[in-house]
Amino acid sequence: MRIPNTMHAIEVQSGKLALVERRLPVPQADQVLIRVMAAGINRPDIMQRKGVYPPPPGASDIPGLEIAGIVVALGGDNKNLAIGNKVCALVTGGGYAEYCLASASLCLPIPDNLSFVEAAGIPETFFTVWSNVFDRAQLQKGETLLVHGGSSGIGTTAIQLAKTFGANVFVTAGSSAKCQFCLGLGADAAVNYHEQDFVSEISRITDNTGVNVILDMIGGDYFPRNLKCLAVEGRLVQIAVQQSAKSDINLWTLAQKRLTITGSTLRARDVNFKAEIAGKLFKNVWPLLVSGRIKPIIYSTFALEDAALAHELMESSQHIGKIILTV
């Protein structure tokens, strides 16, 4: 494959996305250059466009945190990958482009039964769910997990992984159609938050015992309500704050139930931390992808030059699963 000197990429310009021409990045010793075939759209991309979530130091200013494509160049002594390998990768930026750099340790082989589009919907959500639900919250077989935004990319991934590893899963979603989709994906119960109070519904479903783990990306007034939903020794994991970063907390509830409150963001973590997650995914999740027991849920695709339309769709919250750019 001939590698050009320049590439098309999407750039943030005054809060808008613009198609521009850039010079190709050059891989360093621990990196590879990937010809991007597809790239996932994620909420952090929206935040970056709006100027409230800048790239970490050293990261590309081009949006895009997950890609799928073909390795076309190797940096330094790289023994684990070869030119021509089909991989998906978690990146700190640069995904909305024809070519993108990735750390070699964060590249995973694309299963033969998945397309580039499907593979591009894996890294950001699967890394995030594994790190937060299984590593931080230590969800165990037989426990209960509540996922807010069950029809999102994170939500559809969390449902499949938690069910596969033996947990009971409850979700909230914004429409009856989204609730039905989550139930079809394996969720044990789904609450339409526009029509039902999730606190009272979780209390009813669990016979007033609550859930063991909550994965929340809403924040704001969901926080005190989440504490009410947690069982004794429950764990709340905050991974985003789509509503508000500020909330009230009842410390007495925290003490009485012996709750654990934690949270994380993935983008700024170092390569070694992410590589550990990649290893766990390859060992525990890749066989499930290869066998077809689980798969990324793809809602729609857009051409690279239509990235702005993809952002509009994500901000409308009409989608179920992942939105993907094709390059």
**For the segment 258-308, what is each residue's pLDDT rounded down to a tens digit?**
999 999 999 989 999 999 999 999 999 999 999 999 999 999 999 999 999
Which residues in 301-326 are b (16+ Cβ under 10 Å) and which e?
Answer: bbebebbeebbeebeeeebbbbbbbe
pTM, entire model: 0.95
List of residues 6+ apart from 132 with CB closer than 8 A: 215, 237, 239, 264
Q: pLDDT, tens digit, for every residue of 148-206?
A: 999 999 999 999 999 999 999 999 999 999 999 999 999 999 999 999 999 999 999 99
Lowest-confidence region among 23-27, 40-44, 245-249: 245-249
Domains with residue ranges and CATH for the chain:
6-122+267-326 (3.90.180.10), 126-263 (3.40.50.720)
Within the chain, strands assigned E span 6-13, 16-23, 31-40, 66-74, 86-90, 99-103, 107-109, 144-148, 168-173, 189-192, 211-216, 230-238, 260-263, 298-303, 322-326
Rounded Cα distance, 301 and 299, in Å:
7
Q: pLDDT, tens digit, for every residue of 71-87?
A: 999 998 777 899 999 99
pLDDT at 1: 66
